[in-house]
Structure 1
Amino acid sequence: MKRLLNLQPSRFSRVLLGLLPLALILLVYLVASDLRLAANPDDKLLPSLAQMGDAISRMALEPNRRTGEYIFWVDTFSSLQRLLLGVLIAASLGLVIGLLTGSLPLFGAGFSPLLTILSLIPPLALLPVLFIVFGLGELSKVALIAIGITPFIARDIQRRAQEIPVEQLIKAQTLGANTLQVMIRVLLPQLMPRLLDAVRLSLGAGWLFLIAAEAIASTDGLGYRIFLVRRYMAMDVIIPYVAWITLLAFVLDQLLAWFSRRLYPWHGKGGV
C-alpha cells in the first residue's frame, strides 16, 4: 500500500485537483449570494453573476457617454502599461546591480549593505515623497513599482551569481577571458532564467504598488476604478475587477514561465 506521501497525481488529476478549490469557492459564493438576494433583492454585498455580468458588459462593451471610451479596456491598458514599464525598469536595474554585487567582491562589499537597507524600506511609505518629487503623473506610479521590487530582484540575482561554481570562472580566466567577458559570457547566460524567476515572484508586489498608487492619485486604471466605485458599494464592479486583475496576473506569470522554458530549456532540469 502506497503512502500518501508517495502518491503522484496524473496530469489530468492535477488539473482537476487545481480546479476543485476554485469550484468550491464559486459554489459557496453562489449559495451565499442567492440567500442574501432572496432576503433582500437590493442587497449590494454579494451580487449575482448576472448583475456582475451586466455591470462589466456596460463598462467593456458600451462607450462612456461623456468621453466615448470603453472604460474597462482603458483601465486595463493603463494599468498594464504602468506595471510592465515598472517591472521592466526593475528587472534591468536588478540584473545589473545583482550581477555587479554578486560577481565583483569589491563592488559587493561596498554596495551590499546599502542594498539590504533599501530592501527594508516599505515602498508605500515613499509614495508621498514620489508624488512630491515627480508629481501625480505616470512617472511617480512607475517609479513606485520600480523602487518597490528592484531590491528584491537585485538581491536574488546577487545570491544566484554567488552560487555559480567558482571553477567556471577560473576556467574562463585560464582561457584568457577578462572580467567583462566572464560576466557576459559565463555569468549572464546563467542568470537570465533566474531573472525571469525573480520577476515572476515579484509580480504580486508589483500589482500591490500599482493599485496603491492608482487608488491615491490617478484618473484611470484598475486600482483607480475599484476605489472610485467603493463609495457606491458597487460590488458588481469591484468583484469582477479583482477577478480580472487576478487573471491578468496569472497570464503574465504563465507567459514568463513559457518564455523561460522556451529560451532556457535546461533551467530547472539539472543544468547549471
Structure 2
Amino acid sequence: MKLMLGILPFILALLAYMIASDMRLAENAGDKLLPSFSSIGEAIQRFAFEPSKRTGEILLWVDTASSLSRLAMGVGVSAVIGFFVGVACGVVPYVRANLSPFVRVLSMVPPIALLPILFIVFGLGEVSKVVLIVLGIAPFIARDVQQRVEELPHEQMIKAQTLGASTWQIIIRVVIPQVMPRLLNAVRLSLGPAWLFLIAAEAIASTDGLGYRIFLVRRYLDMETILPYVVWITLLAYLMDLGLKKTIRVAFPWFEGKRDDA
C-alpha cells in the first residue's frame, strides 16, 4: 500500500503529460513542446543506444560519464574540505574565531555569480567546473559539521581530557565517529545544489556532459532529447541520494534512531 501511494503521483504526472501531449498534437502535429511518448522513445533509441554519426560514440553514456566524474570530484573535494574545516572550527576555539566567520560569509555568496571569475582564473576546462561545485557546497558542509561538533555533549570532552586525552585523541576517538554520519547526511543534502552548479557550468563552457547536451539541443526546441535527459539526471541524483542514505543506515544505525528520537 505504501509503495502504491508513493508511485501514484508519478502515474498521475505521466497521465497528465500524455493527455496534454495528445491535445497539443491533435491541434498541431508538428508541435515540439510536448512530444509524444513514441517520439521520445525514438529519441532515446538514437542517443542512448546508437553511435553518433559524427563521433561514433553513444552520446548519453559519454555525457553521463563526463558529468559524473566532475560531480564526484567536486563533491568529494567539498566533503573533505567541509569535514576538516567543520571539525577544526567545532573543536578548536582559536580556529573557530578566525575561520568560522569567513566560512559563514562565503556560504552566502551565490556561486553562479562567481562563474565568470572562475572561467577567467581557471580557464574553461575541468578545474573551473569542479571549483564551482566546491565553492557552492563546501561551506554548507563545513557549517553543518561544525554545528554537529558543537552539539556533542560537553561532558564527553571533559571525561576524555580527564583521562589524559590530547586534542588529537579527542578528535579521532570522540568527535570523528559521531560526526561521520552527519557528514554523509550533509553530502546528501548538498547533491541537489551540486547538480545545479554542474549543469550551469557545463551549459556555459563544455564540449560534453549532460548539461552541455541539454543546452545544445534547446536551440532546436528538441524536447524529445531534453525531457529524457532531465529524467535521467533526476534518476541519477535519486540513486546517489538513496545510496548515501543506505550507507548511513548500515554503517551508523544509531544515527537514524537518534534522529527519530529527536
Q: Distance in 1 between matches of 2:152 and 2:27?
A: 63
Residue matched to 1:28: 16
Aligned residue type for 2:21: S
Question: For 1:137-179, what per-residue CA distance to the aligned partner results, in whole angstroms no more than 9, with x for missing partners?
Answer: 0111011001110000000000000000011111111111100
* 1:87 equivalent in alignment to 2:75: yes
Q: Structure 1 residue aligned with 2:88, among 100, 103, 108?
A: 100
Residue matched to 2:243: 255
Q: Distance in 2 between matches of 1:209 and 1:19?
A: 29
Asked if the contact 2:124/2:206 (under 8 Å) is kept, the reply is yes
Aligned residue type for 2:140: F
Tell me the SS of whatever aligns to 1:160.
Answer: helix
Q: Distance in 2 between matches of 1:105 and 1:50?
A: 62
Q: Structure 1 residue aligned with 2:114, among 126, 136, 146?
A: 126
Q: Distance in 2 between matches of 1:71 and 1:127?
A: 26
Residue matched to 1:141: 129
Q: Distance in 2 between matches of 1:137 and 1:74?
A: 17
Q: Distance in 1 between matches of 2:218 and 2:54?
A: 21
Tell me the SS of whatever aligns to 1:218.
Answer: coil
Q: Distance in 2 between matches of 1:187 and 1:207?
A: 30
**Regions of 4+ moved over 3 Å:** none
Asked if the contact 2:249/2:256 (under 8 Å) is kept, the reply is no
Q: Structure 1 residue aligned with 2:152, among 155, 164, 179?
A: 164
Q: Distance in 1 between matches of 2:171 and 2:138?
A: 20
Question: For 1:86-114, what per-residue CA distance to the aligned partner results, in whole angstroms no more than 9, with x for missing partners?
Answer: 00000000000000001111111111111
Counterpart mapping for 1:208-247 below 5 A: 208-247=196-235
Residue matched to 2:66: 78
Aligned residue type for 1:257: K
Q: Distance in 1 between matches of 2:179 and 2:116?
A: 34
After TM superposition, the score normalised by the length of structure 2 is 0.97
- What residue ranges of structure 1 are gaps of 5+ in the alignment? 1-12
Percent sequence identity over matched residues?
60
Aligned residue type for 2:114: L
Residue matched to 2:25: 37
Residue matched to 2:48: 60
Residue matched to 2:169: 181
**How many residue pairs were aligned?**
260
Q: Distance in 1 between matches of 2:112 and 2:248?
A: 30
Aligned residue type for 2:160: A
Tell me the SS of whatever aligns to 2:144.
Answer: helix
Asked if the contact 2:122/2:128 (under 8 Å) is kept, the reply is yes
Tell me the SS of whatever aligns to 2:255.
Answer: coil
Tell me the SS of whatever aligns to 1:201.
Answer: helix
* 1:191 equivalent in alignment to 2:179: yes
Q: CA deviation at 1:14?
A: 2.3
Q: Distance in 2 between matches of 1:74 and 1:264?
A: 35
Aligned residue type for 1:101: C
Q: Distance in 1 between matches of 2:54 and 2:203?
A: 22
